[in-house]
Structure 1
Amino acid sequence: MEQAPRQQGPALPPAEPSGLGAQALGEALQHAMGLARDGQAGAAETILLHVLDLAPENPDALQLLGMIARGAGRHEAAVVLFRRSLAAAPNQPHVHNNLGNSLGDLGDPTGAAHAYREALSLAPAYDEARVNLSIALLAAGEPRSACETLAPLLRRDPRNARAWAILGQARRENGELDHAIAAFRTALTLRPGHVATLLNLGVALRLAGWPEEALPLLARAAEIDPANPEIAYVLGHCLQDLGRVDAAIVSYERAITLRPTDRAAHESLNDLLWRQGRSAAWLASYRTALARFPGNEGLLCDLTDRLLLAGDAAGAAALLAPHADRAGPELRYQLGRARWSLGEVEAALLAFDAALARDPGFAPAAREAARSHIVLDRPVEALARLEPLLAADPFDQQALALQGLAWRFTGDPREAWLNDVERLVSARLLAPPDGDTAGFNARLDAALTARHRDQRHPLGQTLRGGTQTSDDLFTLPDPMIAAVRAMIEAQVRRWLAALPADTDHPFLRRNTGRFAFSGSWSVRLRSAGFHENHIHPQGWISACYYVALPQAVDYHRQGWLKFGETGLRLGERERITRMIRPEPGLLVLFPSYFYHGTVPFEDSGHRTTIAFDIVPA
């Protein structure tokens, strides 16, 4: 969402250098500042360079040149100039602040935070630097520290709207939506009609499950700033939450009109069209945008991905063929997927290798190459591809799943240690406080059914023959959802406390006893519905809570959960290591890298579940 810009400090009063009179220097600097303020940066720069000819390390001239360089987008040059100014005169809090701004422009939030702290060490009441530090901490993924940084400022100046707005962002990033909403409301009261705050408050309310309250705020923001594509995009999400599908489609289309190459807006629009069964309009936005921007690799890759998911490998390969010679790593990776789907095995492997040649750290290509080697029964080659992946990220869930397969196919005993389904899978029945498990789950099923508004499954998900909610389920203000979440949290805590310690195991070593939900949703399957075998790449722990089940689960293991069998279609090399019979109230917890799926069922009844991922906290 929109983040408040870092504020740039003013120049300090001029200092007297050797070789130039103080009065002449002061007049030259003032004149340069006036020219820069009036938009005559070139003339100002000429004067300042002349000052440096006479006084090469004059800190004020260097600082002003740094500000001009930053205004022109020459951020590397600005950093050099600000550092030269500080080398000549270290006790300049405003220059430390400006240095932090330029480092932030260069994508270095850690360096920016250090510069802002230097400014605050010299001037503890320097509010601009404190707010800028909180922005840098947010960019560095430290929302808790950002909150702590803002606390003394807000105690001293509780009417600082900008600080309240940044606090709202920090609280939201820290998962404290109620506190984020309160902070944004305070900021909006102090600065009514501020577009970024309207947008951020609308986002927070929507994430908290209050789209009805979010909608007028987002509509007001769109009225004030109709050319803002981010507002149109978020408005589309809100309208979708409210079940206003046609209006959501219009809003996403508006976002794309304003920013034609916005990958997220195209994705949201076309995912909605797919789930609503509007095949005639599906993917049209990509083709329209690519007619204007035919070489846009992001859109080419995303359109290819959707064609492959829909089973049109020939269309995907034809789309990418004209761009193959000048393609970057992502496009070459997608071309490899298309070639593989067409049965062109060696061409696919060459495409994955070409992607890695362009970017050795491009993990999707390395994973796909390893997966391909496993399918081709080349587990040693697969392990060679996985080694650098796991060296870079020991908790890469896809790489761990593939490593387990390769270990099994090479007879490595570590596979049993990694994939111990008896030790690392928990299946426990949960009961509500009143003990009425059947009544509780019947009411929960009714509450969840009302949230299944789509016509078919999401394209990129593993369920077939059913629907999936699009909300982050556990954030919704529904008493039934809150009740089941509390039951689940209690069982997760008990399970984590009972797990064995193993500092070498990639699952067990992450157990601190603390956790956070990273995503939650509900799935409702109808007759013939099932989940294809898959893993959860974004989780640490994944889970399923069973709410409602058809009678068919009593016969021939229909609708049962299975572990071990992959989605790679390995034929006789596949194996199922454990099966679990579902029943209402059952919670199953397992490592996210475990392959799992379900058996289809034939029944007039439905199968409702809640699924979620957990990460260490």
Structure 2
Amino acid sequence: MSQIDRAVALLEQGRTEDALKLTEPLAKGPNPSHQELATHSQILKVLKRHADALVFDQLAAERYGRSPVAWHNLGATLDDMGRAQEACAAMERGFALGLNAPESFRVYGRALMAANQHDRAEAAYKEAFGRQPANVELASEYANLVWMRRGDMSGAQHIMDFAFHSGAPPGGPILTKARLWEAAGERDKAADLLALAAQRLPQDVGVLLAVARAQAERGEVADAERLVRSAQVLAPKSPGVLNQLTIVLLAAGKAEEALAAARKGLAISPDDQSLWGWAATAARAAGDPLYAALSNYEGNVAPYDIETPEGWPTLEAFLADLAVTLRRMHVYQQHPHNQSVRGGSQTMQMLVGSREPTLVALFKAVDAPIRAHIAKLGQGDDILRKRNTGDYRMAGAWSVLLRPGGFHTDHFHSQGWLSSAFYVETPTEALDRETREGWLRFGKPPIEVKPPMEADHYIRPQPGRLALFPSYMWHGTVPFTTDESRMTVAFDIVPA
């Protein structure tokens, strides 16, 4: 077995650092092969070290410039980093050399979306889907683009139906169709579709959990508990099942049982942000001190007002330029089907890594507040502080533009450690109302639980303000009704 084969085997076993130790001397050697460079880059990207991976993808494109795969790999990494125009150029070089795989057209579609070339993006997704129609993730991305661009529910649903009839496992298309209906405000249609799916797919754990959640939201708590118990029989040690059991038990008013289920899940998956979020809710309902430790708003949550970035005379001037940059990216009619936004739009490209001067300046300006907050958190044994290394990296960044009546549903960020909201524009008239319209709220779960819970902490937005908080915390936006808009940049960070 070659060193590369060993590295791939280690990667498949989850031993990523060990795999890296094998490929690093090969990729950095005097004459690395295409496979050595590509495998080393792949491992670096699994470790979220995209900037390091880019060096080896660029070297592969220079050394093996007639290889279409080298250009695909380079384009994919550039797209992951938010460098859309460069990603498009790399993919086009690859296509000229013979790229024809569905994944290449998919990467190209994502890069074109990020470059605001949406007709071409949709054409690229159509090419990818035509080559691999049973790929549920690809179909879901394609359907989401059709939905966001035009609000075309019929077209989006047709894509998922086609995936199903092309041989995709039935659960995936059904779950995406249900999320699309929910995004369109048709919650009953989504719940009815899921209920029918549960009857026909009684062994599909994902479907059972989705139906249980929908039934709990409708107030059909006994049926929800029956469904999640069925899923538990099929997958008794699944953190996802135990998470959903926690939710349903909270809806049923069984706080102690809910907290026990969450603790059982956390024993299996100790860093699961969803389980921590629901454990906090269960602890609050049960009067357990865990809630105070997890919320600890004074110690864990804070607003910071950034300094004026270099190159702008005032903070107001910078924010005005930043708003212009972001509005060029807010081109969608509808919100994504799988995010918390309602009544607005969300950018779909990775903003970190963008060459736009305003975005480069923004991420430089928020560095000091982030580092101050990490220092303030300090070390400790709790789930937040025990991960604190004193350093960080961005795990994702996007912008949201809410229209009048818009809001974020209460949610958490499953892939983060610390999450954020940076305010570019705020609905000033709404914010001054006694009802706190447009404010950022914390602590309110997204479904009705017993006893009922309202938010127990708020931050008042203002332009130039950055809010930082643990990713497991429930947070959302109080809807606002004034004829104003609300624009933010949000990002997740993880320890480095």
TM-score (norm 2): 0.90
Q: 2:335 aligns with which of 457, 474, 496?
A: 457
> 1:336 matched to which residue of 2?
212
In structure 2, what is the Cα distance between the partners aligned to 1:593 and 1:295? 31
Q: 1:488 aligns with which of 345, 355, 366?
A: 366
Q: 2:384 aligns with which of 461, 485, 507?
A: 507
Judge conservation of contact 2:81–2:350 (CA < 8 Å) in 1. Answer: no
Judge conservation of contact 2:384–2:470 (CA < 8 Å) in 1. Answer: yes
> 1:104 matched to which residue of 2?
none
> 2:412 matched to which residue of 1?
535
> 1:421 matched to which residue of 2?
297
> 1:68 matched to which residue of 2?
none
Q: 1:432 aligns with which of 305, 308, 315?
A: 308
Q: 1:317 aligns with which of 194, 219, 227?
A: 194
Q: 1:588 aligns with which of 467, 471, 488?
A: 467
Judge conservation of contact 1:548–1:609 (CA < 8 Å) in 2. Answer: yes
Q: State the 1:272 CA deviation.
A: 0.8
In structure 1, what is the Cα distance between the partners aligned to 2:414 and 2:308? 31
- The amino acid that maps onto 2:75 is G
Does 2:91 correspond to 1:210?
Answer: no
Q: 1:230 aligns with which of 88, 103, 112?
A: 103
In structure 2, what is the Cα distance between the partners aligned to 1:290 and 1:562? 39
Q: State the 1:145 CA deviation.
A: 5.5
Judge conservation of contact 1:308–1:316 (CA < 8 Å) in 2. Answer: no
> 2:61 matched to which residue of 1?
188
CA distance 1:585–1:142, change in 2 (3 Å): farther
> 2:164 matched to which residue of 1?
290
In structure 2, what is the Cα distance between the partners aligned to 1:571 and 1:333? 20
> 1:525 matched to which residue of 2?
402
- The amino acid that maps onto 1:482 is V
CA distance 1:256–1:193, change in 2 (3 Å): same
Does 2:124 correspond to 1:245?
Answer: no
Q: State the 1:502 CA deviation.
A: 2.6
- The amino acid that maps onto 2:344 is G
Deviations 1:30-69 (A, max 9, x none): xxxxxxxxxxxxxxxxxxxxxxxxxxxxxxxxxxxxxxxx
> 2:453 matched to which residue of 1?
574
Q: State the 1:575 CA deviation.
A: 2.9
SS at the partner of 1:299?
Answer: helix
Does 2:460 correspond to 1:565?
Answer: no
Q: Which moved more, 1:333-342 or 1:263-272?
A: 333-342
SS at the partner of 2:491?
Answer: strand
Alignment of 1:134-145 (within 5 A): 134-139=7-12
Q: 1:389 aligns with which of 246, 262, 265?
A: 265
CA distance 1:540–1:179, change in 2 (3 Å): closer
In structure 2, what is the Cα distance between the partners aligned to 1:596 and 1:156? 48
Q: 1:197 aligns with which of 60, 67, 70?
A: 70
Judge conservation of contact 2:211–2:224 (CA < 8 Å) in 1. Answer: yes
CA distance 1:599–1:228, change in 2 (3 Å): same
In structure 1, what is the Cα distance between the partners aligned to 2:308 and 2:213? 46
Q: 2:323 aligns with which of 445, 448, 466?
A: 445
Deviations 1:85-117 (A, max 9, x none): xxxxxxxxxxxx1xxxxxxxxxxxxxxxxxxxx
> 1:12 matched to which residue of 2?
none
CA distance 1:547–1:145, change in 2 (3 Å): farther
Q: Which moved more, 1:289-298 or 1:371-380?
A: 289-298
> 1:371 matched to which residue of 2?
247
Deviations 1:252-273 (A, max 9, x none): 2322222222011111111111
Name the structure, 1 or 2, with higher relative contact order (CA <8 Å, separation 6+). Answer: 2
- The amino acid that maps onto 2:77 is A
SS at the partner of 2:476?
Answer: strand
Unaligned runs of 5+ in 2: none
Deviations 1:194-252 (A, max 9, x none): 23212111112223333333224323434555652211211221222222323322322
Judge conservation of contact 1:308–1:338 (CA < 8 Å) in 2. Answer: no
In structure 1, what is the Cα distance between the partners aligned to 2:169 and 2:377? 51
SS at the partner of 1:475?
Answer: coil
Judge conservation of contact 2:418–2:493 (CA < 8 Å) in 1. Answer: yes
Q: State the 1:567 CA deviation.
A: 1.6
Alignment of 1:60-209 (within 5 A): 97=1, 129-139=2-12, 146=19, 148-154=21-27, 156-158=29-31, 160-209=33-82
In structure 2, what is the Cα distance between the partners aligned to 1:360 and 1:396? 17
Q: State the 1:193 CA deviation.
A: 2.8
In structure 2, what is the Cα distance between the partners aligned to 1:397 and 1:586? 25
Instruction: Calculate percent identity across the aligned residue pairs.
Output: 29
> 1:610 matched to which residue of 2?
489
Does 2:279 correspond to 1:279?
Answer: no
Aligned-residue Cα RMSD (Å) equals 2.6
> 1:359 matched to which residue of 2?
235
In structure 1, what is the Cα distance between the partners aligned to 2:205 and 2:191? 20
In structure 1, what is the Cα distance between the partners aligned to 2:324 and 2:66? 39
- The amino acid that maps onto 1:369 is L
Q: State the 1:611 CA deviation.
A: 0.9
- The amino acid that maps onto 1:240 is M
Q: State the 1:182 CA deviation.
A: 3.5
CA distance 1:156–1:239, change in 2 (3 Å): closer
Judge conservation of contact 2:27–2:56 (CA < 8 Å) in 1. Answer: no
> 2:422 matched to which residue of 1?
545
Q: State the 1:343 CA deviation.
A: 4.3
CA distance 1:318–1:183, change in 2 (3 Å): same
Unaligned runs of 5+ in 1: 1-96, 98-128
Q: State the 1:572 CA deviation.
A: 6.6
Judge conservation of contact 1:355–1:362 (CA < 8 Å) in 2. Answer: no
Judge conservation of contact 2:178–2:191 (CA < 8 Å) in 1. Answer: no
In structure 1, what is the Cα distance between the partners aligned to 2:52 and 2:277? 38
Q: State the 1:142 CA deviation.
A: 6.0
- The amino acid that maps onto 1:511 is N
SS at the partner of 1:450?
Answer: helix
TM-score (norm 1): 0.73
> 2:282 matched to which residue of 1?
406
> 1:15 matched to which residue of 2?
none
In structure 2, what is the Cα distance between the partners aligned to 1:540 and 1:175? 14
Alignment of 1:26-41 (within 5 A): none
Q: State the 1:280 CA deviation.
A: 2.8
Q: 1:306 aligns with which of 173, 176, 180?
A: 180
In structure 2, what is the Cα distance between the partners aligned to 1:422 and 1:296? 46
- The amino acid that maps onto 1:185 is Q
Tell me how many residue pairs correspond in the alignment.
488
In structure 2, what is the Cα distance between the partners aligned to 1:294 and 1:210? 32
SS at the partner of 1:473?
Answer: coil
Q: 2:221 aligns with which of 345, 348, 372?
A: 345
Does 2:352 correspond to 1:479?
Answer: no
In structure 1, what is the Cα distance between the partners aligned to 2:15 and 2:319? 38
In structure 1, what is the Cα distance between the partners aligned to 2:464 and 2:98? 48
The structure number with the bigger radius of gyration is 1
Q: 1:555 aligns with which of 416, 430, 433?
A: 433
Deviations 1:469-490 (A, max 9, x none): 1112112122211211122122
- The amino acid that maps onto 1:279 is M
Deviations 1:537-574 (A, max 9, x none): 22111111111223212333321112222222348732
CA distance 1:157–1:378, change in 2 (3 Å): same
Judge conservation of contact 2:26–2:32 (CA < 8 Å) in 1. Answer: no
Deviations 1:447-490 (A, max 9, x none): 11111111121122222221111112112122211211122122
